Structure 1
Amino acid sequence: MNARERVLSEAVAELREPGGPASSGAVRSWDLSTRVDGPGTRFVIFTSGCPLRCLYCENPDSQRMRDGRRATVDGLMAEIAKYRDFLAVAGGGVTISGGEPLLQPAFTGELLRRCRALGLHTALDTSEFLGARASDALLASTGLILLGIKAWNPSAYRRLTGAELRPTLRFAERLARLRVPVWVPVWVRFVLGAGVTAGPDEVAGIASFSAALPNIEYVDVLPSHRLGAAKYDRPGIPFPSGTPNRPAPTSSPGFRRPSRPTAWPPADRGSRSGARGLGGPRASCPRQAFSSRRNPRAPSRTHRR
């Protein structure tokens, strides 16, 4: 068994881990961030454990649930309450990220419910590979879903993550049909990985899929980077073989940066046509705002625990 096969077998083992109770969960850390994990300034909770093993993963230390620390919902809510007024004034809220939050659906759902009860905007950052574990009640407490579509071609997705693409797309389609009691808005995030997903067909596929779903409001096209490479120096975290050895620039053929940043919310939301960030023939993409960021970490996180 080679290194990549060992990593993928470990991911399968994560799927067998019990999700745990609603009252506590495995958490790696929390941050305050601006315009990276949803609108405004966010209190971001990073859960531990993920069923995917992406070649460009920037947080390999969050892949295994057993590596996280146990945190209670009450303890996290006490921390969030300290920032409640600031988050509200800053037009932000709370984002549950990972890892993959839906590996612990009861814990994630309770956090979202409690944050909503506190009057805060909520967001769920997920690959939706485990979207079937998200109940309607969990989604009813979710104000925004940040949906990571890792690749459009199924074989590229498999190579990149070790998993299948279809569960992610199936859940995105479910969200477009769901009323809890209204649509859950979705922002799609797609990373251009050199040698893997940087082709124009990948970007065009994401654009066409997004244009067909009425609740997708925003698509963020990001260059890959190696900012998390140092984390692979830690014992027990092998650097994935086949990782692209250079970022994919946003000046790749078939892709161009927008002339100016896209504001949120778009002033003309509901009547947008044309896909921002795409070169060549412009795809028809009503409702969506496309953007790219040269440095996906440019709006830096300001605090970490």
Structure 2
Amino acid sequence: MNGSVHSWDISTGVDGPGTRFVVFTSGCPLRCLYCQNPETWRMRDGHRVSVDELVTEAAKYRRFIEVAGGGLTVSGGEPLLQPDFVTELLHRAKGLGLHTALDTSGYLGARATDALLADTDLVLLDIKSWDPGRYRRLTTVDLAPTLAFARRLSELGKPMWIRYVLVPGLTDDLADIDGLASFVATLDTAERVDVLPFHKLGAAKYAGLGIPFPLADTPTPEPDLVRRVRDRFARHGITTT
């Protein structure tokens, strides 16, 4: 099975617990204003790679990953744009004994088969806003599919980490945050919400691609704002990072 992949690397961060072998797939139906990976938008800009190649590469780091309490994460782009490829990759990763994580917007959650999810230990689910209008302005797509996917994950008993990018003037509305927090509190398997401060580390990528960075003039959030937003989630009994 072949797929279109932008890159893969070893990293430690928000891609799941421990040190991860992270595969960045190519292609994404969203155009988020604060996207940090514009080079992954188009599937044709990636390169063809087989599951065998990726599994062979991941196996080189297997012992190191296991000792570090990590695993394999499929990110993007949007992995569910290539569901058959991702299904086989996750299945083969489980065959190596690796913890698996799927990093997704959830917009294409209907494409995630039960087989794909059976080999997924953790879903990193981006919910970018609770307000449907704001969500569409941020991403160009509808919010409803992501919420439906979150409910399905909860019903399946699938652990998930919700990720919320905090952008001053865009996603710092407290009513919006309270709405999302109320929803997340109904998800039995939502283990935490990662409040991720907006940054401009991807600005150079836009420049290199000749694409204007939409949020070039948007500041990064002050630490006090980050604290207040995390506290807002905590009021609903939600663990935050």
Normalising by structure 2, what TM-score? 0.95
Question: What's the CA shift string for 1:41-60, capped at 9, x where partnerless?
Answer: 00000000000000000000
Give 1:198 shift.
1.2
> Is contact 2:193–2:239 with CA below 8 Å preserved after alignment?
yes
- Map of 1:3-42 to 2, 5 A cutoff? 23-42=1-20
Give 1:75 shift.
0.5
Write the distance in 1 (CA, Å) between the matches of 2:181 and 2:214. Answer: 29
Structure 2: 5+ residue stretches without partners: none
Q: Does 1:256 align with 2:230?
A: no
Q: CA RMSD in A?
A: 1.7
Q: Does 1:187 align with 2:158?
A: no
> Is contact 1:203–1:278 with CA below 8 Å preserved after alignment?
no
Q: Which amino acid aligns with 1:283?
A: R
User: Which of the two has greater helix per residue?
Assistant: 2
Question: What's the CA shift string for 1:93-121, capped at 9, x where partnerless?
Answer: 00000000000000011000000011100
- Structure 1 equivalent of residue 51 of structure 2: 73
- Structure 2 equivalent of residue 284 of structure 1: 236
Give 1:283 shift.
2.3
Q: Which amino acid aligns with 1:141?
A: D
> Is contact 1:195–1:244 with CA below 8 Å preserved after alignment?
no
SS in 1 for 2:224: coil
Larger radius of gyration: 1
Per mean C-alpha deviation after superposition, the further-off stretch among 239-248 and 149-158 is 239-248
Give 1:247 shift.
1.9
Question: What's the CA shift string for 1:132-189, capped at 9, x where partnerless?
Answer: 00000000000000000111111110100001111000110111112xxxx2100000
Q: Which amino acid aligns with 2:202?
A: G
Write the distance in 1 (CA, Å) between the matches of 2:73 and 2:220. Answer: 26
Write the distance in 1 (CA, Å) between the matches of 2:48 and 2:11. Answer: 22
- Structure 2 equivalent of residue 238 of structure 1: 211
- Structure 2 equivalent of residue 222 of structure 1: 196
Write the distance in 2 (CA, Å) between the matches of 1:89 and 1:221. Answer: 27
How many residue pairs get aligned? The number is: 241
- Indicate the percent of aligned positions where both proteins have the same amino acid: 56
- Map of 1:146-165 to 2, 5 A cutoff? 146-165=124-143
Give 1:203 shift.
2.1
Q: Does 1:123 align with 2:96?
A: no
> Is contact 2:73–2:101 with CA below 8 Å preserved after alignment?
yes
Question: What's the CA shift string for 1:13-53, capped at 9, x where partnerless?
Answer: xxxxxxxxxx0111011111113210010000000000000
